[in-house]
Structure 1
Amino acid sequence: MNEINRKVLKHYQIRKTRKQKEEFRKFLVDELKQYGCMDYVKEYDEVVSYFTIGPSIGKEEEVTHLVKQVSMDKLLMESDGIEAVKWAIDNDDYIVALKNEIAMVASLKNQSYSEVERILDQNFSKLIKK
């Protein structure tokens, strides 16, 4: 683990208030997205509540790697916007993109489509109740 990631994890560990932890989690998620830290998924997994995946699953190695590494109860889906949907699936059909994401997760996790859909819905429900 590089020095920056050590500092990030140490900083998180000394933070005490819920608000500070939430702010820091947002910072970590932004860092993960910006730098694609595939080598540090397990370290980030210790300090973030959820990871979001977009329509580029199966197309971008980082997203596919993340899904393989993180447990189902920590995954959320997002579209990344219509332009990302167009780029990822060569189509601007939002529903097709979401169904494709679920199917890809199901394949990577060796679970049924309906089970993955149920778990993702459950994760989202938990998130909005916080």
Structure 2
Amino acid sequence: MTDFTLISDDQWRQRLSPQEYHVLRQAGTEPPNVGEYTNTTTEGIYSCRACGAELFRSDQKFDSHCGWPSFFSPLAGESIIERTDSSHGMTRTEIICANCESHLGHVFAGEGYDTPTDLRYCINSISLKLSPTE
């Protein structure tokens, strides 16, 4: 099994496209309403595009109209790490993959969505890979 935390920056650049590298390894954000999973309703498992770790299920996805795929809960609490992000003049909670420490997006609480958790995991499509279920 690969220890993704030992992969060098140059190795990540070789594994990922420039756009994937920017978001996953440099904590970038893709533009809203352009990601391949923003509006998809395909059933399946969403995994980390960098390492393949399973992160979210399609039945936890909801339409938040924010421009990025939104989920109300991760697949398992230990699949993600939350940390404080004070960039861009605000404080948010960043979400990274627990397996490879790649940037996924941010989580927001208390926005009033009709979901079981009152959380919105706002995730960059480019950080995910969907494996459809049959």
Q: Which has the higher contact order (CA 8 A, sep 6+)?
A: 2
Larger strand proportion of the pair: 2
Larger helix proportion of the pair: 1
Q: TM-score normalized by structure 2?
A: 0.29
Q: TM-score normalized by structure 1?
A: 0.30
Q: Which one has a bigger Cα radius of gyration?
A: 1
